[in-house]
Structure 1
Amino acid sequence: MAAAPVKQRTGGSRAQLPPCYYEGYLEKRGPKEKVSRRLWTCLCGNSLYFFNNTKDTHYVEKLDLSGFISLADDCGRDRNLEAARLSLRLKDGETKLTASNLEARELWKGFLYAVVELSIPSSLTLLPGQLHMLKEVVEKEKLRRKTRSLSRAPSSPLSLPLVGEIPPCFRPVSRVEAEVLLERYPDCGNMVLRPGRDGTSLAVTTRQDLNGSVFRHYRVTQKQQGGYVIDVENPIPCETLYDVINALVEKTSGTLQPFLLEEPYEENITFVSSNDENGERTLHCVRGGPPYRGPALPPKQAGTDKWSPRHQALSQSASPRSFSPTETPLSPMKRLTLSPSPLAQSFTEELKMKLEKRQKTNQE
């Protein structure tokens, strides 16, 4: 039986990947490889990520499907007669993929077509339940791409359009604000992606403990031909901003971890009202009250156990409205990238003290 879709795993760099639609073991042989390797393969977003085994948190290879050309069965002779091979052609070459059996191959084809073409070919031999599963993946991938396009240009001092998805550790804060944020919430991570000072680049601010806080700042520039570069002595090229964060996590053996902080929510309902006589506006706070109880059910009709059609309509109209997936509130990632963090407003006094301390140190 083919591997079933599972929830995305958490931990390490795998937590930074797009949502996982399907995963299982595949044998992979790239255009420059002479032998195949059996790797745990995850279809996350529009890319294939390869891991040595199911428990690894850091992928060893990535195959971007944006350069998709074709996908076809490979009917060549194979020493394993039960295995089923696929020929995946991309702009940068052809990759051979081998599934454990024909059913697994057919399901992998379905998931690959679902994310690269946002459709399901009618030629696939799949069960109704499997087809329904693929239709859900098509809708999820459409929504993911729509969300990604909305989050490409966060409201920040940046003057360049950001390419690809924005990691949730992005904060539209300054260098000093990033330091305060990391120092105030040390348990939430120690690495923030933020706008650079010049407005044409990004930066990563990190914090570690060594007889006190030690901060480091790394410039991240966007290449003209696409992708990003971490500007250190030996520059580190990265395809996406997620890869920038993953590279820093991997280079430090997991010592650096992305900063993830849940945005604060109000504990009470507040509203502003105006005085009709003097026009003064006042902020009111509603601290609590009796729990909401829906309208009482209408009485039953005599001689029957069912509500009348009219009462059924009233009951349905009084029920709370449910949100469809496309009507859900903004995701945490979009909230972080499209609007300044409300936490920054609480930094004023702390920043003032930090800047005054720096000025005194410089004068001395």
Structure 2
Amino acid sequence: MAAAPIRQRSGPGGPRAQLPPCYYEGYLEKRGPKEKASRRLWTCLCGNSLYFFNNAKDAHYVERLDLGGFVSLKDDCSRDRNLEAARLILRMKDGETKLTAPNLESRELWKGFLYSVIDLNVPSCLTLLPGQLQMLREVVDKERSRRRTRTPTRAPPSPLSVPLVGEIPPCFRPVSRTEAEVLLERHPDCGNMLLRPGRDGCSLAVTTRQDLNGSVFRHYRVTQRDQGGYVIDVENPIPCADLHEVIDALVEKTAGALQPFLLEEPYEENITYVSANDENGERILHTAPSSPLPRAPALPPKQDRWPSSPLSRSPAPDRRILTSPVPASPTNPMRRLILSPSPLTQTLNEELKMKLEKRRASQE
């Protein structure tokens, strides 16, 4: 049997009348992070919390689960003794709660109502009927109105209005306390300490997360000093010259147990653009071609300034060999070079000498 929107069962002054407005109710099997077995409880989604009753007629709830610490919600595909049952895993900051709905349709409805209350937006990733989507829109409007009337009329200061002095560390995030805890919970490999604006808008805060049988969060106030710099407001205040020194001080005080939160945002691998279709005006997302850039034209091969050919070559000059009668050594760097005649020169001298001797003999 699928769950249905709640019908008021207690009188105007009953305990249920003191709860926030109930948007959805039905039987769910629940097993908390510290429970060994599941219990079948009547579950009501009232405001931003789940209230569990032993049965549908009880006026007093036995347990309450605040959805303010929501982390994720996913399907559990493990088998159940009831083949039609559909499981859910509701992950909170303090652990996981496993819920089992009577069937797949009921599970989708519970997911739709939970997402609507948590995100204040109708989810688009679920398979729901038009009438069910209209129910979720009404729930979003009611919950928004309830939170507006519950919060003070004065708007909280913008995180970006925090007067930051000096260079901002890369672990700074303009998020609230709850958002900081969710970030550190979802990305434990990116560090466990981030700097954020304080609630009053005039100070800053450092949020840390460590594991001790679950997530343990701590928050430290960081204020600016009139004489310049910052101070970490703990029992023994720690003065710091700038925000980088604030982070370094916490890393040093904890012997490296705390590390700055550095989340690498993904970059696009392709260039995309939106254009309108000329025929029907529909806007379509296109991916630009990823062809390589054209290369610059190659330079022509280097040629000799003067072309050489066998006919244009001049006869090789008479080369003389440089000889050194004194070997090279560090102690005798200066060497006297002597020009010794080449073999061709020696042959010519011998021929001239023979001709001169013949001429002298003929004259005698």
Q: Shorter-normalised TM-score: what interval? A: 0.3 to 0.5
Is the radius of gyration larger for structure 1 or structure 2?
Answer: 2
The higher-RCO structure (CA 8 Å, 6+ apart) is: 1
TM-score by length of 1: 0.41
